[in-house]
Amino acid sequence: MITNETFASASKNAFAAVEASTRSSFDTFERLAALNINASRGALEDGIAAVHALLSVKTPNELVTVSASLGRPTAEKALAWFRSSYEILAQGVEEAAAPYETQYAEVNKAIGVALEKAAKSAPAGSEAAVAAVQSAIAAANSAYDTVNKATRKVIQFTEANVAATARAAVDAVSAPAATPKAKKSA
């Protein structure tokens, strides 16, 4: 039986989960904003330094050297920004989801207790119906766990691929440009 007290408690718990998740989301946005402000400030300073370096060039060879030296640090800073923003977002998603996962576990526990009470007070012959409900709940929990584990594996796989791709991009930017071979005319 659902009482007013049970409903009020469930409502308070649901609101607490929403509140915790919302606060976590604001913290995540705040961290991202700070990261972006700092990255923008750094990009401005790096841009000014690059222009000064390019303006001090006196020979074509020096221009090539200075230009080549600017690529890798910029790519590495972009990679660091990407990693940091990804980490902030990944942590934010986990922190925002945590209250709901806790609430989900509590609801499952309460449903289990309610089913046990219902089974004890159920009329004779209803054991099959109670067992079917318990089986359906167990199947739903198993499906939830399977999806949750699969999602985490996809996230880990994506993180690994993003890191490898980003590192390859930085290496490609900093690799010396290949000189095209002159075609022989026949």
The total number of residues shown for the chain amounts to 186
Residue 115 lies in a domain: yes
| Domain encompassing residue 118 | 15-171
**Mean pLDDT, rounded, for 26-41:** 96
Residue 176 lies in a domain: no
Residue 179 lies in a domain: no
pLDDT band at 182 (very low <50, low <70, confident <90, very high): very low
Residue 10 lies in a domain: no
Residue 4 lies in a domain: no
**Are 99 and 20 within 8 A, CB to CB?**
yes
Answer yes or no: is pLDDT of 125 > 80: no
Q: pLDDT by residue (tens digit) across 37-72?
A: 999 999 999 999 999 999 999 999 999 999 888 888
What's the confidence (pLDDT) of residue 178? 43
**What does the block give as tokens for 159?**
């993180």
**What does the block give as tokens for 91?**
């942590």
Structural domain total, the chain: 1
Answer yes or no: is pLDDT of 156 > 80: no
**When comparing pLDDT for 92 and 122, which is higher?**
92
Residue 105 lies in a domain: yes
CA 60 to chain centre: 45
Residue 50 lies in a domain: yes
